[in-house]
Structure 1
Amino acid sequence: MRTQRLQEAPARVLTYAEATKSVSAESTHGKRTARSVLLLHGYTHSPAQVAGLAEVFFQHGFNVYAPTAPQHGPGGGHKGFTAAQLVRHAGAALDVAAALGDEVGVVGVSAGAALATWLGAHRGDVVSRLLLITPLFAPRPRPALRPLTVLYGLRLPPDRVNDRGYSFTAVAQYLRVAANLPAAPVTGALRHVAVVTSPGDTVVDAGPAVAVPERLAAQAGATFTHHALPAGAGHAHNVIGAHAAALDPLYFDLYDG
């Protein structure tokens, strides 16, 4: 389900002062730093999901930007947004993060990792590193991918909400983004891609979760790391946040390569 609208990635060059209008003072060091990072939370979540990891990056000298996705966060409803809104949001967020540091990378969680990968592919001349945590490129069960992406992506049938509170129409917007990665990515900056998968994950298909970013890394000439969390440790799909704070140092190390 490819469309030109979802393959356009215009960039806007911002000054540090312009960028900080979008960022809380607690997330920056008061000046442009050598490195900055953009953190994109998962579907139905908010920046609170990545707050612990954001603090780890900040303590390592990064300026950090963790925006709220369209219609997410408290009272957001997380249903009515479109794929086009998601890519515009991601692109604008990258513009801000790029103005905060000389080198910028992106961390994405689940559906947010689909946006992060889209940025790494369409704006690989800017994004230097990617960390993708349980990335959503295809759902489980896999046969649901095409009807979800096409039918619900175009809002043809009435929306459905599953037992996790996921709107089929909303999830389909992220899947539409994932379906619009370029055949030949923009390259020049991307040097490292890391992926985290979880053995207890019943939400995403682990095959594409690894294969899609591995292919992007190969095309960009970047290094690639896949880290599978240990089986038997109780890890499911959501492996970041206060309940998984012990993993934040690992995630930073994977990002740093």
Structure 2
Amino acid sequence: MTELMEWIGPLTVEQRIVMGIAAVVAVFAVAVLLVSLLIGWRKALAVCVAAVGIAVAGLFVIPVGTDELTSHPAPAADYAAGMEIFQKKLLASPEPLNPLCEPYVLTHGAKVARVVVLVHGVSSCPRAYVDFAPELFDAGANVIVVRMPQNGYADRASDALGRITAEELAEFGDTIVDAAVGLGDEVIVAGISAGGTITGWVAQNRADVDRAVLMAPFFGLGGTNRWTNEAAMRAMLVAPDFTIWKDPAQRENFTGGMAHAYVRQSTRGTGQIMRLGAAVKRQAAETAPAAGDIVVITNAADTAVSNAVTDSVVAAWVADGANVTTYTFPARYGLGHELVDPEEPGADPALTYPVILQLIDDPAGFDPSTVGRAAD
């Protein structure tokens, strides 16, 4: 088994998916063989195909309960109230934190013209913005760098991600906006990956958000479209939770990767993040987003999330008449998924930071023709 895990470890996500499909086909063939011993191979094949068809059809109709996800705003009345929300609701942790993962506020000591909330991605933590947040602060903004629920614990092999719920993330989205309103006249929320999903939620639901900036948002799994993503989400929500180790051979003993990131993911937690994204998609199809304007930044080289699913959300917002600005980093740059984390493989802050900062500051003045590396 160890040798098998060592062989699987270096494989790409796509290669693992192919292996998974091959395993499913093998299990199907064995099932047909076993049933054929009782009723003959033709009837066995028909029964097994019918069973698979029913199971697959069920993945498209199982309700996921997005109607119950609602926003409950309670914005801070002033700077002191905003800081109190941060200290009581966003600073506290039920478990010891990785010392790299403490949430923090870069503040000028009073309410200022602009506050920016930065939300990291799943399995990461506030450390992702270690270089990015100070640039916003130096430009005059108060900056709140938050820790997503169930993330950033000292135990990098924690099973906490399996406890994530869409309800918890929606409440977290409300809380970060509630705190931010007290720290700045103009409220901007920017999130990467699952943080982008949460940012999409507040964009749809919070009128006190002036600008929502979604970076490589996680509305769909890489390689999926709208329909296959819906099926994958339902499968992860109804099936037993499954751990996906970054290194299947080393598992909890893996010491590589980014020191502030978990060493494993959860299928159930991933499904719950996608459920929040499904709620955003459903709401966007019904009503216009509440935020003043929306910026969506994607990466054509990204294999972690589905840009096609993200595009469907953007299309719904545009159809609603929302003010949406989009930009996609070309695939030729070979950027990693975490566009802001300087420790992400494939990161290029010299390329990405100016673009993201400009789109946070003034999307109307952004000129895509100015983007590029010095060697371009």
TM-score under structure 2 normalisation? 0.62
Name the larger-Rg structure.
Answer: 2
| RCO comparison, higher one (Cα < 8 Å, 6+) | 1
Amino acid at match of 2:272: Q
Tell me the equivalent position of 1:245: 349
Tell me the equivalent position of 2:256: none
SS in 2 for 1:30: coil
- C-alpha contact (below 8 Å) 1:141/1:205 kept by paired residues: yes
Tell me the equivalent position of 2:120: 41
SS in 2 for 1:9: coil
Q: 1:193-230 CA deviation, whole Å, 9 max, x = no partner?
A: 222221221111111223313432552531x2222213
Tell me the equivalent position of 1:236: 336
In the TM superposition, residue 3 of structure 1 has moved relative to its aligned partner by: 2.8
In the TM superposition, residue 16 of structure 1 has moved relative to its aligned partner by: 1.1
- C-alpha contact (below 8 Å) 2:105/2:142 kept by paired residues: no
Distance 1:214 1:103, change over 3 A: farther
- C-alpha contact (below 8 Å) 2:120/2:195 kept by paired residues: yes
Tell me the equivalent position of 2:72: 10
Structure 1 or 2: more helix by fraction: 2
Tell me the equivalent position of 2:314: 213
Amino acid at match of 1:132: L
Amino acid at match of 2:218: L
In the TM superposition, residue 100 of structure 1 has moved relative to its aligned partner by: 0.7
TM-score under structure 1 normalisation? 0.88
In the TM superposition, residue 66 of structure 1 has moved relative to its aligned partner by: 1.5
Tell me the equivalent position of 1:118: 201
Alignment of 1:97 onto 2:184: no
Of 7, 23, 28 in structure 1, the residue corresponding to residue 107 of structure 2 is 28
CA distance in 1, matches of 2:339, 2:289: 30
Identity of aligned residues (%): 26
Task: Let me know the Cα RMSD of the aligned residues.
Answer: 2.2
Alignment of 1:178 onto 2:277: yes
Alignment of 1:62 onto 2:141: yes
Tell me the equivalent position of 2:90: none
Distance 1:186 1:240, change over 3 A: closer
In the TM superposition, residue 138 of structure 1 has moved relative to its aligned partner by: 0.8
Tell me the equivalent position of 1:51: 130
Q: 1:83-142 CA deviation, whole Å, 9 max, x = no partner?
A: 11111111111100111111101101011101100100011x111112111111111231
Of 130, 137, 158 in structure 1, the residue corresponding to residue 212 of structure 2 is 130
Please, which runs of 5 or more residues in structure 2 have no aligned partner? 1-63, 88-102, 248-263, 364-376
In the TM superposition, residue 163 of structure 1 has moved relative to its aligned partner by: 4.4
CA distance in 2, matches of 1:120, 1:217: 13
Distance 1:102 1:199, change over 3 A: same
Distance 1:3 1:206, change over 3 A: closer
CA distance in 2, matches of 1:73, 1:248: 23
CA distance in 1, matches of 2:68, 2:145: 25
Please, which runs of 5 or more residues in structure 1 have no aligned partner? none
Q: 1:132-184 CA deviation, whole Å, 9 max, x = no partner?
A: 11111111231652343223224x32424164833211111110001112121
Amino acid at match of 1:80: R
Aligned length: 251
- C-alpha contact (below 8 Å) 1:131/1:193 kept by paired residues: yes
Distance 1:215 1:145, change over 3 A: same
CA distance in 2, matches of 1:233, 1:25: 31
CA distance in 2, matches of 1:214, 1:116: 17
Which of 56-65 and 206-215 deviates more? 206-215
